[in-house]
Amino acid sequence: MPLLLLLAGLAVMAVLPLAVPWLQFTLTIALAKGLAALGVAVLLRAGLISIGHAMFFAIGAYATAFLMRDLAVTDFATLIVASTLISALSGLLFGAFLVRYRAIFFAMLNLAVSMVLFSLLAKLYGVTGGTDGIRVATPSVFGMALARPVFADVLYYGGLLLAGLVGFAVHRYLKSPLGAALSAIHTNEVRLEYLGVSAWSVLLVAYTLSATLAGLGGAIAAMAIGHVVPEFAFWTESGHIVLVAVLGGIGGVVGPFAGSIFLEVVQTLAVGFAADAWNLIIGLALIGVIFFLPRGLYGLMETRRRTSP
Amino acid sequence: MTTPLLKAENLQVAFAGVKAADGVNLEIAEGEFLAIIGPNGSGKTTFLNLCTGYIRPLAGEVFLDGRPITRLAPRTIARQGIARAFQIPQLFTDQRLIDNLMLAVAARRGIWDAFRPLDRRTHRDEAMQLLSMVGLEDVAEQSAATLPEGLRKLADIAIAFALKPRLLLLDEPTSGVSAIERFGLMETLMTALRQARVTALFVEHDMEVVERYADRVVVWDQGRVMADGKPDIVLKDPRVLQNVVGVA
């Protein structure tokens, strides 16, 4: 059933920009942040909250910018693959140290590392462009130079396809023995160790996966926006990603995407119609979800499935 | 002379100055059913913790098949063949009972499978066999959190059994199980242990259970082995009768 939900969601997402063209950019960013939120949701399965995951979003985004600027890589697919791999390696490296910690220590250490990265991105002007950031030109697609609006279509539908494939893979992972072991860390890590399973290894896989997802999201965002800035790694962005995951719900892979789309659309509408009060509107929306949908928007879908004949 | 399956040599542990193991020497032979009895706080569970790497001794060594395991992590010791069922059942309470067992089966077969589902035929069949062994097949689909204490205890034993261990450590296997079901459980457990040729060490307070099922009984008192021998002899020892059986 979650797969049907994923397919239905993808179908709606595919036709939505055709009906409301101005939504395409918003939805592209929602997909990018949804991927990062899915990464956070993976870790939430183990009961771990990362308040620093924007660093991997930023690593993916900056990897794209560096590859284009310094190595003259312009191909869309190469950029996506390489940026995602760089994020995965970063996740493996930081994760080897960070997954030793639990609860507030894990959350705060992630925050600390992300703020170090933010500072480096902001201060190393000669390398990172400092607070001005780096411009990301329009990539080519299989050797073809495309006009910006055409590339935006390719990025959106390519991103949608990637989100579908990644969502399916993560769904399989969460249902696998390795995914079950990840959830088991949340409930009884001692028993898991007594089953001969290394909780550290299980978490390292999850952390690397979550960094990979965030990095993929960052690469898509960099290409969509055409510019990367240190704020991508700022702690408020990390908070935003956690917010998206909680809002959407961690019960299934569709949840973080639903949360991301909801938040981006509400934010866009709120900025347009109530520029001074959009934070208030988002805060109220979040309070509403926490009070009435403790399992997030995905919980609402689950309830509907259970009550439908 | 054959190497004992498990050997503890001069184990010493103290908690805030209180000695929980004070020069413990103990050997368990392959195929033996050894019971440990003793008053509460005498160090019985501490001994299980030492054998499974949960705590490390101040001095002394634990050997499995002649190889030291004292400084190994619980997961490494589990992979070497020592499984444990706990005094307070350790289940994955946000999962169904069958999922608990399937995860235990998968842990033994290899957890590094990220794409095939946990809930598949091979895992489910073996998990159901284990649940049938302890009479829990009817509650397999229930959440582990909703099970009564006695059933959780049985589930915990089944999980330990899923590892197909060489040595099974059982911490009060019959506590929380009703008096009527106690001997039924032990009969089932002993049959399964014999069939699988698993050596067992169980901490127990029920002297009837000890007398009926243990090949050998070790009496613990203040972190020391007070007596060691056949149940029919040890349980008649006046010191044991006075200090342990009366208290237990």
Domains of chain B with bracketed CATH: 1-81+169-179+199-248 (3.40.50.300), 90-164 (no CATH)
Q: Given this model, what pLDDT does residue B248 score?
A: 45
Give the Cα-Cα-Cα angle A229, A235, A237 (nearest 5 degrees).
Answer: 60
Contact A222, A32 (CB under 8 A): no
Q: Given this model, what pLDDT does residue A308 score?
A: 47
Whether residue A273 is contained in a domain is answered as no
Contact A296, A247 (CB under 8 A): yes
CB within 8 A of A270, min separation 6: which ones? A277, A278, A281, A282
Q: Given this model, what pLDDT does residue A246 score?
A: 87
pTM, two decimals, is 0.90
Q: Given this model, what pLDDT does residue A73 score?
A: 92
Domain count, chain A: 1
Residue located via tokens 């009435």:
A292
Whether residue A296 is contained in a domain is answered as no
What is the interface size between A and B, counted as CB pairs within 8 Å? 97
Distance from CA of A252 to the nearest CA of B (A): 15
B79, B103, B115 member nearest A184 (Cβ): B103
Contact assignment for B112 to A178 by CB distance below 8 Å: yes
Residues of chain B with pLDDT under 50: 247-248
Whether residue A288 is contained in a domain is answered as no
Q: Given this model, what pLDDT does residue A304 score?
A: 57
Contact assignment for A181 to B111 by CB distance below 8 Å: yes
Q: Given this model, what pLDDT does residue B129 score?
A: 92
Residues of chain A with pLDDT under 70: 1-2, 302-309
ipTM attached to this prediction: 0.90
CA gap A299, B143 in Å, rounded: 19
Nearest CA in chain B to A193: B75
Whether residue A266 is contained in a domain is answered as no
Contact assignment for A178 to B74 by CB distance below 8 Å: no
Q: Which of B189, B92, B174 shows the shortest CA–CA distance to B133? A: B189
Q: Given this model, what pLDDT does residue A309 score?
A: 44
Contact assignment for A187 to B95 by CB distance below 8 Å: yes
- The boundaries of the domain holding residue A176 are 2-234
CB within 8 A of B97, min separation 6: which ones? B91, B131, B136, B139, B140, B141, B142, B143, B144, B147, B155
Q: Given this model, what pLDDT does residue B1 score?
A: 61
